[in-house]
Amino acid sequence: MSQSYDRGLVEDFGRWREFSAGMWAWVLHKFTGWVLIGYLFTHVAVLSTAVYGSSIYTETIRELESLLVVRFLEVGLLAVAVFHILNGVRLLFVDLGMGLDAQDKSFYASLVLTGGIVVASIPTFLGGQV
């Protein structure tokens, strides 16, 4: 039997100091989702240089990748994507009826794992010819 669980409104962001782990997970999942859909539109727009010829496509990617700020932004994108994936797995398990009792721990695990994967990936993202 289900029981109600009054967590208060997560949409009321003014009371962020009172947020529980699950509410932070909700906020971060929304935030990373907004970033990813925004990036999808940008990604297709940038790669669409391929429509105008092979050399402009290659040159555009080369030029962008030569900028250090782009490499850092890509690390940020990786962090956003990895968290959204890991927290998404957590949400799928909860929807399948598994892991609700440990939902706060699985959120912390998502954060730690995201941090680990991102830190380990920094040499690959920032390395190579800039």
Partner 1 sequence: MAEHYSSFDRRGWRWLLQRLTAAFLIVVLAFHFMLLHFVNHAAEITFAGSQARMSQVGYFATMLLFLVTATFHGVNGVYNALLNQGLDGTAKRVVLALLVVASAALLLQGTRLALALTGMDVSL
CB of 73 to partner 1, least distance (A): 11
Question: For binding to partner 1 (CB under 8 A), which residues are involved?
Answer: 1-5, 11, 30, 33-34, 36-37, 40-41, 44-45, 47-48, 50-52, 54-55, 57-58, 61-62, 65-66, 74, 78, 81, 85, 88-89, 91-92, 94-97, 100-101, 121, 124-125, 127-130
Residue 39, token pair as written in the block? 């990036």
CB of 56: closest distance to partner 1 in angstroms?
A: 9
Give the residue from 93, 96, 117 showing the smallest Cα distance to 105.
93
Residues of the chain by 3-state class (helix, strand, coil), percent to 5: 80, 0, 20
Q: Choose between 16 and 52: whose C-beta lies nearer to partner 1.
A: 52
Q: In the bound complex, what is the minimum distance in angstroms from residue 91's beta carbon to partner 1?
A: 8
Cβ of residue 17: shortest distance to partner 1, in angstroms?
A: 21
The whole-angstrom separation of Cα 130 and Cα 128 is: 6
| Element counts in the chain: helices (H) and strands (E) | 4, 0
